[in-house]
Chain A
Amino acid sequence: MPLRNYPNWGLLVMLELFLISAIKIAFVVGVALGAMPFVVLFERKLLGWIQVRPGPNRVGPWGLLQCIVDGIKLFFKEEIIPDQADKPLYLLAPALVVIPAFLVLAIIPFGPTVHVLGRDINMSVTDLNIGILFFFAIASLGVYGIVIAGWSSNNKYSLLGAMRSSAQMLSYEISLGLSVVGVLLLAGTFDLRTIAEQQAGGFWHWYIFQQPLGFVLFLAAGFAETNRLPFDLPEAETELTGGYHTEYSSMKFAMFFISEYINIMTMSAIVTTLYLGGWTAPIEHGLLPPWLAGPLWFGAKVFVLIFFFILIRGTWPRLRYDQLMAFGWKIVLPLALANIILTACLVALDSPWWVFCLAGLAVIFVIDRIVTMLRRSTLRAA
């Protein structure tokens, strides 16, 4: 934002900056916190529909007030701190999980730069030139909260969940970071706003078409990072009665819950920005003013991804722990490295976009065949 030249009015400039930031922060946090209960409700509804039942439909029309009632219920539940818990850490853990979840929201560009009252305002809380690195740095802090929660609860299920989650998140973080390098090689920047702007002008510019392999890998690693099915081993209700948050109740549990869904939203937002063109329209239309069309397209894309998250939760079973580790280290990580090499070579050769697309799809196909054949032979041997 260009600073206007106020002679001796430094304080005013600061105030202006502060105000603009405050409004943007309030907007982003408000939208995220306001949408979160509806994401939960949507998830429950959709899981219901998948299972041929209506889902929550008692409170309000179509159960729309269910999410609010859930929140009220959590507020008024009894706060229980186990006697054997390590109290300071036990109280610290939910905050350590929630804070990184919200911090990542700061770098997500949800709209274009708009011109308001003579100022250029970027529709994002902040545009870091290291945006995607900030995402990796902060997102990986979330694991501390989970590990501390599991440790301080002094419960074997919590501890097992925390152990699983630390191993899982550390493993998949590497793959997550490496699978995005393809996009970074194409974009030549870490800045999420620039990455999104480069994909403007139509859906065929989206990086998903140049990075199909990277997209699949990023999505898989993203599911593992957000502890979603089929990688929800840290929670694993059927095995660990709830995993790392078994001993948490009331609002402390709600904080884990909120952070999980905020993480889903940020992960969807990051995938949208990196691979699906961010706020840019799939087809240039000019029907709506950019300050409205941008956030709407962004929201629509995020919604589709959240839908996909939930559909997968309703479909695929949870992986076994060794399968999870094998998948992470033996498939996702080598493929992410292969994707980097492939993309680097193609970038060096100055290939057109369809070469990237075909090369990525070919790798996916070949690996898929190999894995299928290996699996068949092991099944035959067994």
Chain B
Amino acid sequence: MLLEFLKGLAVTFRHIFKPHITVLYPEQKRVDAPIFRGKHKLNRYADGQERCVGCALCASACPSEAIYLEAAENTPEHPVSPGERYAELYQINLLRCIFCGYCEEACPENAIVLGPEYELAGTRREEFVMNKEDMLVKPEEGFGEYDVEAVHELPATEGLP
């Protein structure tokens, strides 16, 4: 009996010197899976036009009714999107969103995508309602042109530590 107790102590004693597995979060960040479902992004085409055509399929697919959008007609002089219409107002309430990714699946244009951003803390409720300017991919970030199908083929654990 005593020997077993001492063996147990030896095990914990050895663990003291093992390298820690903790990820020290604010300094170190985990590499996320490519299909991680974080904050939404609205993609664009390479010419800067928005992919979103304001069809509102995402809003109807959303199980928690977090998406609200109002569509407007494109004018031939200044087309915002290649389709007939575009989203004039596009809001996502992150407090309602459950990050299920249904909007991403429903979108026929691959316009809305859930991105890797997960640091979503805020101090006021208003901060959590995102407008178009919060989600649209910036031109310097490459307009969000990417191969949607290829990303979805990746195994869920790839890229994790």
Contacts and interface: CB of A to CB of B under 8 A. Distances in A.
A375 interface: yes
A311 B15 contact: no
Interface stretch (B5-13, B63-71, B152-160): B5-13
B19 to A, nearest CB: 8
Given A311-B9, A315-B8, A51 B1 contact: no
Contacts of A53: 20-22
A84 to B, nearest CB: 38
A372 interface: yes
A312 B9 contact: yes
Interface residues on A, range: 10 to 19
A202 interface: no
Interface in B8-38: 8-9, 11-13, 15-22, 24
A371 B3 CA distance: 12
A49 B5 contact: no
A368 B3 contact: yes
A50 B16 contact: yes
Contacts of A315: 8-9, 11-12
Nearest to A46: B16
Prevailing SS type, chain A contact patch: helix
A52 B20 contact: yes
Interface in A38-91: 46, 48-54, 57
5 contacts: A49-B15, A50-B12, A52-B15, A57-B24, A315-B9
Contacts of B1: 368, 371-372, 375
A314 interface: yes
A311 B22 contact: no
A51 B21 CA distance: 9
Contacts of B150: none
A51 B16 CA distance: 8
A54 B17 CA distance: 11
Contacts of A51: 15
A50 B15 contact: yes
A316 interface: yes
A364 interface: yes
Given A53-B21, A54-B22, 9 more contacts: A46-B16, A49-B16, A49-B17, A54-B20, A314-B12, A368-B2, A368-B3, A372-B1, A375-B1
Contacts of B13: 311
A281 B21 CA distance: 39
Nearest to A48: B20
Nearest to B18: A52
A310 to B, nearest CB: 10
Contact of B2 (A49, A311, A314, A364): A364
A324 to B, nearest CB: 15
Interface string A305-329: 0000001101110000000000000
A96 B3 CA distance: 39
Contacts of A314: 12
A364 B22 CA distance: 41
Give the interface centre of B11, B12, B24 by most chain A CB atoms within 10 Å.
B12
Contacts of B17: 49
A311 B11 CA distance: 10
Contacts of A312: 9
Nearest to A51: B15
Contacts of B15: 49-52
Contacts of A311: 9, 12-13
B16 A54 contact: no
B21 A52 contact: yes
Nearest to A45: B16
